[in-house]
Structures are given as C-alpha cells and as structure tokens.
Amino acid sequence: MNYQFSDRMSQLKVSPLRENAHKNMEQKEVISFAYGYPPVDAFPMETMGEIAATMFSEFDPESFLQYGATEGYPELRRLLKKRLQLVTNIPQAGQEEVVIVSGSSQAMDLAVRVLCNEGDIVLCEEQTFSGAVNAIKGYGAIPMALPMDLEKQTIDLTVLEAMLKRDQQKRIKLLYLIPTFQNPLGTSIPFEERKKIYALAKKYQVIIFEDDPYGDLLYQGEAIPKIKTLDTEGLVIYAGSFSKILAPSCRLGFILASDPILEKLILAKQVSDSHSNFFWQVLVAEFMKHYQFEAHVASLKGLYKEKFNLMMTCLQAFKEEELSFIEPTGGYFICCKLGEEVEEERFFDYLEKQKVAIIPGNVMSVAGKGYEKSFRLNFTKPTLKEIKQGMRIIAEGLQIATYSKAM
Amino acid sequence: MNYQFSDRMSQLKVSPLRENAHKNMEQKEVISFAYGYPPVDAFPMETMGEIAATMFSEFDPESFLQYGATEGYPELRRLLKKRLQLVTNIPQAGQEEVVIVSGSSQAMDLAVRVLCNEGDIVLCEEQTFSGAVNAIKGYGAIPMALPMDLEKQTIDLTVLEAMLKRDQQKRIKLLYLIPTFQNPLGTSIPFEERKKIYALAKKYQVIIFEDDPYGDLLYQGEAIPKIKTLDTEGLVIYAGSFSKILAPSCRLGFILASDPILEKLILAKQVSDSHSNFFWQVLVAEFMKHYQFEAHVASLKGLYKEKFNLMMTCLQAFKEEELSFIEPTGGYFICCKLGEEVEEERFFDYLEKQKVAIIPGNVMSVAGKGYEKSFRLNFTKPTLKEIKQGMRIIAEGLQIATYSKAM
C-alpha cells in the first residue's frame, strides 16, 4: 500500500521533547532539568486514594462511569468558576462559563480548530510551548514569532501593532501567549504591558489565547492580574490546567471564554472525544469541595519554592560572561544563556556525557533556530540533592567550554 | 466582538442525541431505549475499587499520575494485542502495534485528521454513528452514503465499486464501516461479503476503518471474523473500545493499524491531547492481568442477552404490517421500521407523551433524511421491567397510529 496522508500532517514532526522523554526517564542515573514534570512527592496520594475509595463504595456509578456532558461535570465547572473568581481574581468567571478539556494542550488544539482556516496566522512569543506550535501547524495554520523584549519581560508591541496593521486580509486569527511564568522563558508580562496588549487586540479585533498552566505557582513578588481580567469584550480565551497542581496523567484542563466561542469549543470537543474522563472530574470536584485543595496547592508552592531558591543561589554564583539567566517569580522554568566566551557544543556535549539533561533553546523556538546559546532548566522535578549535583556539573561544563580557559 | 470561526465549524451542529441526552436522563420516569449506554449494574464497582485502592496505596505514582507516552501504557498495549489475537482472533495483532486513544470517537477523529484533506470523501453506511459523520465533517471532508442491502446485511457492492471506479482523482480516502452489530442497524456483514469489500479496497487502494465498539457482545450464532483478519496489505484500521465492556467515562479505546498509519495517528494524538488518562490505562491493564476480565465480559453478555431475548419476544409479537425489524446477533441496538399503515408522526408523538424515548431513523442518516419510518431501540440500558412497560407502550402506539384502525 502506498499511503497518502493529509497535507496538514506534513507540517508535523514528533516533538524532540517527547521523543527522548521516555528514554531519558528510564535512565535513572540521569539528573533531569529537562521536562516540565512534577516530582513524585507532589502527588497527594492519600487524599486521592481516599476520594477514589469513597467514590467506588458510596457514589452512584452513573455519576462518574457513565457517558457525561461534553462541557464537563457541572459541579466541577461551578467550583472552578468560584476558584477563578476568589483565588485567581478573574471576575469574568462570574459571567462566563467554563468547559472541561483534556489538559491545556487540548484547549489550544480546540481553539485553533475553531478559529483558524488553513493558511491563517497565529502570533506567538518567539520561544514558546512546542505543543501549542504543533497544534497551530496541525490545522494548517501558520505560527508566526513575535520578538520579545526580555528586559521588560514582554512582547515587542511595535512589531505586534505593525503586524496587525499590515494584516488587511485578517489572516491573523489568534494571539497565543503564556503571560505568566512563560515556558521556556520564565518571564511574566507586567500588568501595564498586558493592558497595552489587550488594547491592541481590541483595536484590531484579534482573539487572545491566555495559556496559564503555571499560574498558581508564585514564589516571590506580587501576582500580576491575568489578561482575562481586562476582558470587557469577550476577546480572551483563558486556559488553565490541573497538570501542574494535581497530576498530569489525569489530563484535566479548562477553558473560560465568552458564550459564542465556548459554544464552538464544546462542539469541537464533542467531535474530538465526546468528553473528558468523568472519574477524574468527580474526584477533583470532591477534592476542591471537601479536602483542602488550596492547602495542597500551598504545600506544592512551598516544595517548589525551596528548589527555586536553591537554583537561584547556584545560578547567581556564575559570572555573567559565563552564563546569564532571567529570574522568574514563579512557575516551572528558568531560561539561561551561555556567554559569548562559552562554546555551546562543547558545553552541551559535556552535560550529555555527565548525564545532565536540559532543553536546548532551539527546541522551543517558533522558527526552530536563533537560540543556539540558550537552554531551559526545570527545577520542580529534580530533588534538592540532584539540583546541587546537576548545577555543579553545569559549572564544570562552563569551565571546560570557555574558550579563554580551554586554550 | 464580531466573531469569525473556521470554515470547518460551519459543517458541524450539536448532535441531537447529545442535546437531549442529559435532559432526558434527568427525567427518571422516562423509559429510555434511546442512548447507547450501559446499565448501572454493568459496572464492576468492587473490582475497580479494589484495583484503585491498590494503585493509590502500593503503586509508584510515576506509573499512573505522571505524564505518559502518547501511544499508551506499554503493559496495556501488550495485553490488548494478546487479547486481540486470542479472544478476538485477529492474527494481525501479532505483527502490528496498537495505540491507546480516548474512546473510538477519538480513533475516528484522528483517522480523518491523518488521512483526509478538505473536500476529500469518506464512504459510510447510509445510516451510521453520527459521531463518525461529525468527525468527517469536522475536517472539511465529505461523508458519502453507501446504500445498504438489508436482506444480505451488507453494503451495496455494485455501488461501492462504481464509486471507487469513478473516483479518478482519488478523493475517496476512507471507507468507514461498523461491520459487526452495526449502529443503528444491528446488522453484521457476512464473512463472504467482508471478503468482497476487502478485495475492492485492495483493488482501489482505499483504507478501511473498521469500527468495532460492540464486537465482544455476541448473543447468538457464530462470531464473524473481523475484516482486519483479511488484511494482508495494511489497509485496515481496526478500532475497539472499553466504553461498552467496562465504562464509557474512562474514555479508553484503541487502534490496531500498520506502522506507517499508526505513526501518523500517534503524532496527531500527541498534538490533540498528549496521551489518554494513565490512571485508567493502568487500572484496565491490572483488570486484564489479575482480575478475570473475560469473566466480567461474559457476565455482561449474560446480562444483555436476557434483555435481548425479551426484546425479541416482544418485537416478534407485532404483525409485519405494523412493525418490522432486523434481528441482530449481538450488540446494543435493534433497528425497527413502521409499516405503511402506521402514521409515524402520531406514533412518535404518542411515545413522547408516554415518556418512552427512542432515536428516530433520520438522526443516524448520513443524508439526514429518508428514514422517516425507522427508529433505533437500545436494550442494554433499560431494565427488564422497563423493557416490558416500554414495549407495551410501543404496542399501544402502533394501535393508535395505524390508519385503518384509527378511522
């Protein structure tokens, strides 16, 4: 058989992240700063086990084993809206509805499906989540990189406005942003800049997809109000996830959006997979209702903050001509850049030989290039001991790969 | 905001099945022959509860709460392949691989995504699963109805070959079939006819999607070998599901296909939602390995066969000029047709007034018309008592809606 596949598939290739993930995870001796995974002690096993036991012994099976509504378990949707209002301070959750999806990956996949024809454009931060870029390409739409102003931790607004202005045919359908604790940059767009971005979206009538899977994980400074809080016009699709605050495998995320958008998203979700797993939807709702969910999130923040502080201490010890980094205020990642004097290939080779895993900058680059000297470090998955060992190897790598020193 | 949605969304509308499902399910007094749901006593609560308890207390959380491989839990994939060889008698499962997906709905969604450009054609049985038709439309492809030969319980092969022959531009990319216990017809394509269908697919190099969510539920006669068993060329995508033999809400299905197809399906799955829920993948694997899964399936078949037999007894009591039906050998559905003398609107109105829910034929029609006198009955969800009551009301409806008698 001479197989013929759809044109849209020719745009996609296996994510190098995924390709290596399982291979590397199996090598137990590797110290991994690579993947955006929670650590094994982040899972509230006892509470989840207790809820599951109650469900199987006391709940009506129809409530969590039968087919369910595409938009999700009503009680979870209600609790999420309440949490978005009270904890995340998004007043729009009082007026708009949420739909439960299978992780924020599916949220973006559905948004592109609903909003973009083939050949349409989605603007993204120049380095961003590769899953989102693949979702865009997967429908034949075109991801286009917005340059960043790293000093101000925001996108270049002059370029953004120029692109929107030039777009006479309205091919730009979506502005995909991770405004808080960005992946891979760790940056958070300041509130004043968020206002300017929203004003431009409003002026040019472009929808913003605010991807916020890390939003709860603030370690220092003040929380910045979400772009969604500015949304007077129903322009912002806000997506959150339980992957980073409960368990990735439960594949639960959600979208808050205006009715006309949500209606289409629900339709697309129905066609994709009918609904997300109801066992987990009910379990999470029970957790939020009866089991101190906020205390669990607070304990996660404590766990990660300790690792974050250690990372900061280690990174601050480097000279800027060796390695510079952007100090995040929360989230999962720190973006580092090798100094001019450091030969990147020798540095990365050394890490590989010493079994320290990182993500090279180009993997997260929309253009697939331009970030040869950058790399991303995750600090949630490794233990404190692994962080110390790993950072020592990174320090050695910097020594070995610095031109002046090696000669 | 003046919202603009993608062209592909204009093809989709909310399934009338889903639209009413929750409204009707809440009305407890309704006797429902409508939805393809398992009954509440079909869920093996004790076994599932026991496995969940073991998982939360003894298993490594990384194995079921962390991010997992897109293609699924290796042990579940291995057990499924073994089951496909031993229980379902598909020798191809010895050579080909499986990928775990979120129900067979997602299997078809991914297949269309991977195989069809906008404007491509997918051939379907003229009455079929509306979710599959929506999956086709959802990527801008065109579902085209194949006429059925209901006497022989198969598709019209002359028309099929004429369509394939005429298709000079190779726009027909897929032949979507539910060959066993068809939805809504209840028909099963005989083995001789399956051979002819496969021969045509081979001759014209068209891929067959064999959707088999009901395949395990045989109540009488011999099991017919799957089309997949004939697949010497890697032409058949075989999709199965745990929705009908374990629990719909776990959203677990699988695809068996040749490597080149599977590779693309995994890529599409990765972009869609990363992977399916691993908690359930591990739970199902444990069930299959340690908890007499085949005995559970056998007990389900016993439960449904009793209901099936009662339905047959009730339906056989009707005169053919009132109501005819196709006798299935298994599955979830029976397709009925009102006689010429029965006024369909009065009949359906009566059922609605008496709170007996059925699915009208046109809901499952690819063309959306032509089946005014047909309707689908599910017999797995209602209790034996409800079946008796419901069938009595159907008998009354026939009396009231028959012209000669009403005048």
Helix, strand, or coil (residue B98): strand
Q: What is the pLDDT of residue B168?
A: 93
Whether residue A61 lies within 8 A of chain B, CB to CB, comes out as yes
Which range of residues forms the domain containing residue A263?
45-291
Residue A23 and residue A156 in one domain: no
Residue B19 and residue B91 in one domain: no
| Distance (Å, whole) CA B25 – CA B382 | 12
Q: What is the pLDDT of residue A262?
A: 96
The arithmetic mean of pLDDT across residues B39-44, rounded, is: 96
What is the CB-side half-sphere exposure of residue A71 using CA atoms within 13 A? Answer: 20
Residue A100 and residue A135 in one domain: yes
Residue A158 and residue A268 in one domain: yes
Instruction: Mark which of A226, A258, A291 sits at the end of a domain.
Output: A291
Is A277 in Cβ contact with B250 (below 8 Å)?
yes
Q: Is residue A12 part of a domain?
A: yes
**B20 confidence band (pLDDT: 50, 70, 90):** low
Q: What is the pLDDT of residue A215?
A: 97
Pairing status of strand A142-146 against strand A121-125: parallel
Longest dimension (CA), chain B: 72
The partner residue sitting opposite B135, judged by closest CB among A49, A103, A271, is A271
Q: Which residues of chain A have pLDDT under 70?
A: 15-28, 404-407
The partner residue sitting opposite A103, judged by closest CB among B5, B233, B273, is B273
Residue B196 and residue B345 in one domain: no
Place of tokens 């592909």: B8
Structural domains counted in chain A: 2
Write out the E strands in B341-406.
356-357, 359-360, 374-378
Q: Is residue B366 part of a domain?
A: yes
- What distances in angstroms separate CA B387 from CA B308, B328, B373, one per listed residue? 10, 17, 21
Which residues 329-358 on chain A approach chain B with CB closer than 8 angstroms?
none
Which residues 117-176 on chain B approach chain A with CB closer than 8 angstroms?
117-118, 120, 131, 134-135, 138-139, 170, 173
Residue A242 and residue A256 in one domain: yes
**φ and ψ of B12, to 5 deg:** -100, 140
Instruction: Output the pTM of the full model.
Output: 0.95
Helix ranges (H only) for B248-322 are 259-273, 278-290, 293-316
Residue B153 and residue B49 in one domain: yes
Task: Annotate B179-246 with DSSP letters as a single string.
Answer: -SS-TTT-----HHHHHHHHHHHHHHT-EEEEE-TTTT-B-SSPPPPPGGGG-SSS-EEEEEESTTTT
CB distance A368 to A378 below 8 Å = no
The arithmetic mean of pLDDT across residues B71-83, rounded, is: 98
| Distance (Å, whole) CA A286 – CA A288 | 5
Residue A170 and residue A194 in one domain: yes
The partner residue sitting opposite B249, judged by closest CB among A56, A68, A173, is A68
Q: What is the CATH number of the domain that holds A360?
A: 3.90.1150.10
Residue A341 and residue A324 in one domain: yes
Q: Is residue B3 part of a domain?
A: no
pLDDT above 90 covers a percentage of chain B that reads 92
Interface test with A, best of B23, B45, B206, B251 (most A CBs within 10 A): B251
The arithmetic mean of pLDDT across residues B327-332, rounded, is: 98
Instruction: Mark which of A237, A269, A291 sits at the end of a domain.
Output: A291
Q: Is residue B55 part of a domain?
A: yes
Is A277 in Cβ contact with B65 (below 8 Å)?
no
Cβ count near A101 (within 10 Å): 33
Q: Which chain A residue has its CA at the smallest distance from B236's CA?
A: A1
Q: What is the CATH number of the domain that holds A148?
A: 3.40.640.10
DSSP A319: -
A16 prior amide bond cis, ω within 30: no
CA B185 to chain A, closest CA, distance in angstroms equals: 22
Helix, strand, or coil (residue A21): helix
Q: What is the pLDDT of residue B403?
A: 78
For residue A290, give both structure tokens. Answer: 């009866």
Q: What is the pLDDT of residue B27?
A: 60
Q: What is the pLDDT of residue B26?
A: 55
Q: Is the pLDDT of residue B189 over 80?
A: yes
Which residues 196-225 on chain B approach chain A with CB closer than 8 angstroms?
205, 207
Task: Annotate A177-197 with DSSP letters as a single string.
Answer: E--SS-TTT-----HHHHHHH
Pairing status of strand B333-338 against strand A142-146: unpaired
Q: Is residue A407 part of a domain?
A: no
Q: Which chain B residue has its CA at the smallest distance from A231's CA?
A: B1
CB distance B92 to B228 below 8 Å = yes
For residue A350, give both structure tokens. Answer: 């050394």
- Cross-strand partners of A360: A375
Q: Is residue A2 part of a domain?
A: no
Q: Is residue B207 part of a domain?
A: yes
Residue A195 and residue A58 in one domain: yes
CB distance B243 to B105 below 8 Å = no
Q: What is the pLDDT of residue A225?
A: 98
Q: Is the pLDDT of residue B17 over 80?
A: no
Residue B179 and residue B276 in one domain: yes
Pairing status of strand B97-101 against strand B253-257: antiparallel
Instruction: Mark which of A246, A271, A291 sits at the end of a domain.
Output: A291
Place of tokens 């109801």: A278
Q: Is residue A1 part of a domain?
A: no
The partner residue sitting opposite A114, judged by closest CB among B6, B113, B268, is B6
The partner residue sitting opposite B250, judged by closest CB among A18, A53, A279, is A279
Is A67 in Cβ contact with B5 (below 8 Å)?
no
CB distance A215 to A178 below 8 Å = no
The arithmetic mean of pLDDT across residues B28-40, rounded, is: 92
Residue B118 and residue B242 in one domain: yes
CB distance B350 to B262 below 8 Å = no
Q: Strand order in B333-338's β-sheet?
A: B323-325, B333-338, B374-378, B359-360
Mean pLDDT, chain B, integer: 94
Is A21 in Cβ contact with B271 (below 8 Å)?
no
User: How does pLDDT run across B215-260, given as a tens digit for each residue?
Assistant: 999 999 999 999 999 999 999 999 999 999 999 999 999 999 999 9
